[in-house]
Structure 1
Amino acid sequence: MNRLKSRATPSLALISSTILFSARQVAAHGGHEMEKIQEGEVMTQEPLDAILWTHILLMMLSFGIIFPTGMVLGITRNRWHVPTQVLGTAIAVVAYFLGHLHKGRVFAKNIHASFANTLMLMLVVQVVFGIYLKFHITKGFHGKIRKVAVHGHGIVGKAMPIVAWIQMLFGGITALGFCGGDHLGQCLAHFIMGSAFIGYAIILSIVLVVGQVWLRRCGRSQEFFDSTFIAAWGCFNTFTEHRWGSAWVANDFQHTAMGIIWWSSGLAGIWLSRKRYGAPKRNFIPGFVIFITGWGMSAHPQHLPISNMVHTMFGYTLMAAGLSRIIEVAFVLKDRNTISEDGEANSFQYIPPFLLTASGFLFMGATEEQMQLLNDNGIDHVSYVLVCYSFAVLVFLFTNMLLHLYSINSAPAVPPKDSEEGETTSRINGHTRATDARQVRDAEEFELEGLMSDDEGLESPSTLGKNNEGRVD
């Protein structure tokens, strides 16, 4: 025990001293450089230097790629989880220092710098939990503490990608000096709603690739959860899009009406998500809400021609996402959860998540200040839309890579059961014979038969997320 303590103390001390030293650097750096900022400005006009660019790239690498990858490896209990998270932590600490040692452009007090403390605190907590769990102390009082550490480690680890995404958005806003003063309200609306579209696309991808078994076990259809969220969000928008007590303008009418159609449609979707005797049922309502929202946004009045064009493309993309979702449910799946017995997704089913991701980036990139910046620099809407779609493709790709990583590490794929005719597969030597799948299953069942009582069932945490329903009772 003393040996374990001696090993843990230097690590914790190093982490604590790193954060404290960085905090002192923030105070010293900020207090000295603030004098360069002119009154009424949020930053100086100097360019970003190489150190700050390095900070940005390293933070995106650690929090945007390495930590999410390590999170998936941790969920699947892969042996590369710890090395991956150690690498991400080392890069994040270096990048944190660089963020306060740069020259060039100077920023006033901003939300990105303040929120960085929250993100780094989460990282410290995650590291402390990880070190403690690595000791595998389960006796006595440590047994109770370990349960708390396990849950805490899991919660913080899964929340970190979301918090990191928010911090990255804050970083971009701060670097450009956007979202201040009167622009704050519309800026919040664009980034919150755009992030919501991307988050919804990721959830759809998770359910599509690895979540069908969970969906079947909970006894609810996907549209029940979608419609519940739509109804709740619609109620919120109905009473918050107009500043009560002030005069109504065109945008207020549209936003409030959009909230009404959301909560009314959400209620209808909840009602239609059940069959006559309570079994889950698919319906078209979420796709319809996405479609009608896209139509409304495509006709939203704007101040600049380029803003009109970007909003129109956003609306068309969202309409396509809603229409493809309806086609998927009604015509591709025909009200089923999956199109194949092994749960493998049809290629058409990837279209709605991708288009929702693209819609999110287009909407986040269509704020007033961003459109003004494009207009002032002579950048056309076609080039800008293609860049937004490029970001969407990369995020869509990375999401599916993580889901594939989870799928191959959670459990090996199980061949479908042999048909009555007796399926045959080609052997390495070129001959064919009945598949070995049945023999493997028979052997497993024989071995497990004597180890399990009649009241026990086969349960493996590694198969809970797989779409292969044949492996889960």
Structure 2
Amino acid sequence: MEGVECFVIFVYGITNVFLEHLSEWGGRWVAQDFEHVAISLLFIGGGLCGMMIETKAFRTTDDSRVNEQKASLQPGYSLNPIPAIIVLVLSTILGGHHQDTTEATMMHQWIGKLLAAAAAARSVTYFLIYISPPTSTTPSRVPSELGTSFFLMSGGVMLMASNKDTVEAMIANGLNAMLVATVDMGLIAALMAWGMGLFVVRGWAEEREERYRMRARKGGLV
């Protein structure tokens, strides 16, 4: 999974280099544009590092004895810290990102807090998996990943809402950053509840279908 996350980070970094200047297309580059490009370079470099860590060539050597020892010690899961590190660094950058208005500054502070919480939750996941490695290929359902998902989605929506036009509309209508953050987290919580509810209904339906099949077999219908 960490390999997929690193690939997404890498691709986003590449596209972000060309997208950062769209609002001033054809105009001069300012210091803030170069700051955004530097963040893109962080994504590109971090994503590449993470993907290389996930490759077999990085994990093994030409020494067969060492390979055998590594194979016996390899738990079958990845503790690649690169995605969590990138999210943590990004939270610090965005939390202190210079803005022209108070509302935009507060929104970026919220983004920084949410992303930092996501990185912390992922670190808890690594710790739990390290002390209790999974014994099967099925999802281990580490509870801390619920927090990671919530904080990442909330931070992402907050980041999308912090664009210049939206902030100006907020100020014009007398809205504040706290309202946006509260609505954001409430909607994400409701969305997660909806998604989890679908899985609950699916599990209930599968269990009911299995009971029906068992009764049908006993009754000689199948």
Q: Which residue of 2 aligns with 1:236?
A: 15
Larger Rg: 1
Residue 408 of structure 1 and its aligned partner are, at CA, apart by: 4.0
Measured in 2, the distance between the counterparts of 1:281 and 1:389 equals: 29
Q: Which residue of 2 aligns with 1:393?
A: 189
Match of 1:299 among 96, 99, 105: 96
Residue 266 of structure 1 and its aligned partner are, at CA, apart by: 0.8
The correspondence of residues 118-157 of structure 1 with structure 2, limited to 5 A, is: none
Task: Give secondary structure in 2 for the equivalent of 1:248.
Answer: coil
Report the CA distance shift for 1:382/1:336 in structure 2 as closer, same or farther (over 3 A). same
Measured in 2, the distance between the counterparts of 1:287 and 1:363 equals: 18
Higher helix share: 2
Measured in 1, the distance between the counterparts of 2:11 and 2:36 equals: 15
Q: Compute the TM-score of the two structures, normalised by the length of structure 1.
A: 0.37
Task: Report if aligned partners of 2:9, 2:47 keep a CA contact under 8 Å in 1.
Answer: yes
- Percent identity, please: 21
Residue 35 of structure 2 is aligned to residue 254 of structure 1: yes
Q: Deviations over 1:220-251 (max 9, x none)?
A: xx111111121122122234424687422122
Q: Which residue of 1 aligns with 2:6?
A: 227
| Partner amino acid, structure 2, of 1:374 | M
Measured in 1, the distance between the counterparts of 2:97 and 2:52 equals: 31
Task: Give secondary structure in 2 for the equivalent of 1:334.
Answer: helix
Match of 1:273 among 30, 44, 54: 54
Q: Which residue of 2 aligns with 1:30?
A: none
Gaps of 5+ in 2: 61-66, 209-213, 215-222
Task: Report if aligned partners of 2:125, 2:142 keep a CA contact under 8 Å in 1.
Answer: no
Report the CA distance shift for 1:240/1:386 in structure 2 as closer, same or farther (over 3 A). closer
Residue 64 of structure 2 is aligned to residue 283 of structure 1: no
Q: Which residue of 1 aligns with 2:202?
A: 406
User: What is the aligned-residue RMSD (CA, Å)?
Assistant: 3.0
Measured in 2, the distance between the counterparts of 1:319 and 1:394 equals: 22
Task: Report if aligned partners of 2:114, 2:154 keep a CA contact under 8 Å in 1.
Answer: yes
Q: Which residue of 2 aligns with 1:86?
A: none
Q: Compute the TM-score of the two structures, normalised by the length of structure 2.
A: 0.73
| Partner amino acid, structure 2, of 1:391 | L
Task: Report if aligned partners of 2:124, 2:144 keep a CA contact under 8 Å in 1.
Answer: no
Q: Which residue of 2 aligns with 1:362?
A: 158
Residue 323 of structure 1 and its aligned partner are, at CA, apart by: 2.5
Q: Which residue of 2 aligns with 1:380?
A: 176
